[in-house]
Structure 1
Amino acid sequence: MKRLLYPTLTVAGVMSFGMGQAIADPLYIGAYGGSTEKAMKEKIIPAFLENHDAEVIYVPGNSTDTLAKLQAQAGNQELDVVLMDDGPMYQAINLGFCSPLSGMKSLDDVYDVARFSNDNAVGIGLVATGFAYNAEMFKRNGWAPPSSWQDLADKKFEGKLVVPSISNTYGLHTLVMAARLNGGGENNIDPGFEYIKNEVAPNILTFEPSAGKMSELFQNEEIALSVWGSGRLRSLASTGFPGAFAYPEEGAVALMVAACATEGSDDPELAREFITHLLSPESQQVLADVQGWGPAQRHTELPDDLAASLPYGDKVDQLVTVDWDAINPKRLEWTNRWNRRIER
């Protein structure tokens, strides 16, 4: 029997769902709050419970919060399934918190980019890190849509560009791609720092990490271009803003929302079944529509207008991945270096 580690469930925003009255151990799911929590509670979890006599308790938190919970509960995990960004998920895997998902038939239907080595986790949603831009501003100025990571250094964007800080995944992706463009990579990041400092930083208005502030800068036409996520741009464009998203020719970087079944779960089979449910075409459609996550399940069908705004179909082939196993041990060092040399 699990110890109850969340005694103030209502205060914490945790909700319980269930069909039976004599469930011994609930299925605890640690995942994002906000719109993800709303979609899970209103659509994803109720659909799961139509076919499973279970109780589900949802524990909201961002990826850092969820990873911290796993670390605090090491050896006596309360959470059964966790959803996190791919960077923290790789940390969870390396710390031994994720149980292998090998043997799950649903894995055969997942895009290769969403598969983790040894299948200790699986991507359930795809976001592309690429270029968000104001299509009207580009048209007025006679600019072609951005097409390469090298465009960030184009002097015509001076004072009209945002690259988020390295503390934000979009900024980290930019650093890695800048290094790759200049003969380096995750294991030789120096060329990336030099390129951003000397060629890109002079164009940058601000290293803004906030999605709300980024939207404001776009709407006020203070910026024309930013490194951003496809889902973020889709949300902004849905307000009527003339935004567009471009995939760099060298590849947009995949930012995955990933799921794992925790090692030591009281009900590992039910945890795997919930992840299988997340990968069903029906759940993938909900997450694409509500969250702007491109489907990780290759057989998911989306309406044309939604498919056009997400990494979907052939666009998945334009995604590249970064080596989180190389990045995570160095990220603090890189962050300190970025703060000293880039954002000073």
Structure 2
Amino acid sequence: MGKIRRTLALSAFAVSALSSQVRAETLVVNSYGGPYEAIIRKTIIEPFEARTGIDVIYDAVGSASQDYAKIKATKGRPGFDVVVMTASQSLQGCQDGVLAKLDATSIPNLSRLSQRISATAGPCGAVHEVQYMSLLYRKDKIAAPPASWSALASDELKGKIVLPTFQNIMAIYLVQMFSLMNGGGLVDNLDPGFKAMSEVARRSIGFEQSSAILESYIKDGTVWAMPFWNGRAQLLVDSGLPVDYVRPKEGTIPLIATLNIPSGAEHKDAAAKFIDFFLGKESQEAWVRAYKVGTARMDIDLPADIRARQITSEADLNSLILPDLTIMSERLSKWAEQWERDVVANAN
């Protein structure tokens, strides 16, 4: 009997030790703070930890561009294992050799994503959400919902709009939309877009990079309309603010958000497990419902009210305007100079 007790005790100790070893595995995930952090912890990180036993350390430091700069400066060893960025950085990181290529062998759920959207992120990015640049407005200040991007250049909104800085990708997206509206192109001949944006800038109160600061202007009523990512816009609607947002008639350009693994990440296997978990059907359904965004996974079950406003089908994806992100990355520095010269210089 004593031997049995001793064997049981040793078995319990072995199980405890094994559990401790599993829980000792850690994963550092770099992403955003604010509402994003609260939502990703509840809908993704906590369920992932419970299922796998892997401890996730959440690093809410830096914007996508700042995170990429750190990855590049450290040659793929930034100190985190998974990073949330955009398709633009995914493409650049692959080209620079500082992001790991992902495949369906270690991340099976990659094969469940829309091939059209996945292709925009390249082989180093896993698309975990799709937002689009919307036109956010105050319902209590504007008589009728704006139908066109040209509303930003109207006299009604003079002194009542705020614009993103060029460090926020919405800036060049606006230039591209106004370029198309005025006879220019998406990546070639953007001069008509810059010229139109100079008129918009004259009606703005200034420029801000941070989404949190941008939304503070519309919260307090200083601003009546502005471009804003539709997921964040929906969170403001749900909060009870007198705001709403539209996808203007000319169309819009998406923000394709990706999960990436730096090439020198310490915990690549755990990182692949995390990405596969995030792309899973149940996780994608939870993420879309909670963060009010679209998805590159077309087989998930969602309520009609979410489908009405988010990107959740191939038809939705096909309606988006998709510029060549590789060409964009090559020309951004030149466009940044033109933005300062033609847009910022003309602001009041």
TM (normalized to structure 2)? Answer: 0.79
2:148 corresponds to 1:114: no
Taking the TM superposition and a 5 Å limit, the aligned residue runs for 1:221-236 are 221-236=221-236
Measured in 2, the distance between the counterparts of 1:266 and 1:342 equals 43
Which structure would you say has the larger Rg?
Answer: 2
Measured in 2, the distance between the counterparts of 1:217 and 1:55 equals 38
Measured in 2, the distance between the counterparts of 1:97 and 1:184 equals 31
Moved more, 177-186 or 36-45: 36-45
8 Å CA contact 1:160–1:203 kept in 2: the answer is: yes
* Secondary structure at the counterpart of residue 284 of structure 1: helix
Instruction: State the shift of 1:75 in Å.
Output: 5.8
1:152–1:308 CA distance, 2 compared to 1 (3 A): same
Measured in 1, the distance between the counterparts of 2:276 and 2:239 equals 33
Q: Percent identity?
A: 24
2:5 corresponds to 1:22: no
Taking the TM superposition and a 5 Å limit, the aligned residue runs for 1:206-221 are 206-221=206-221
Q: Which runs of 5+ in 2 are unaligned?
A: 1-17
Measured in 1, the distance between the counterparts of 2:127 and 2:238 equals 25
After superposition, give the CA deviation of every residue in 1:168-189 in whole Å (9 maximum; x if it has no partner).
2222210122223322322332
8 Å CA contact 2:94–2:101 kept in 1: the answer is: no
TM (normalized to structure 1)? Answer: 0.80
After superposition, give the CA deviation of every residue in 1:109-164 in whole Å (9 maximum; x if it has no partner).
2234530354321210111102112234333xxx4x33333443344433333332
1:147–1:94 CA distance, 2 compared to 1 (3 A): farther
Q: How many residues of Structure 1 are paired with residues of Structure 2 in the alignment?
A: 321
Measured in 2, the distance between the counterparts of 1:130 and 1:248 equals 7
Partner of 2:47: 47
Taking the TM superposition and a 5 Å limit, the aligned residue runs for 1:34-183 are 34-61=34-61, 62-74=63-75, 76=77, 78-103=79-104, 104-116=107-119, 118-139=122-143, 143=144, 145-181=145-181, 182-183=183-184
2:248 corresponds to 1:248: yes
Which residue type is aligned with residue 242 of structure 1?
P
More helix by share: 2
* Secondary structure at the counterpart of residue 52 of structure 2: coil
Q: Which runs of 5+ in 1 are unaligned?
A: 1-18
**What is the root-mean-square deviation of aligned Cα atoms in Å?**
2.9
Partner of 1:323: 324
8 Å CA contact 1:253–1:320 kept in 2: the answer is: yes
Moved more, 168-177 or 231-240: 231-240
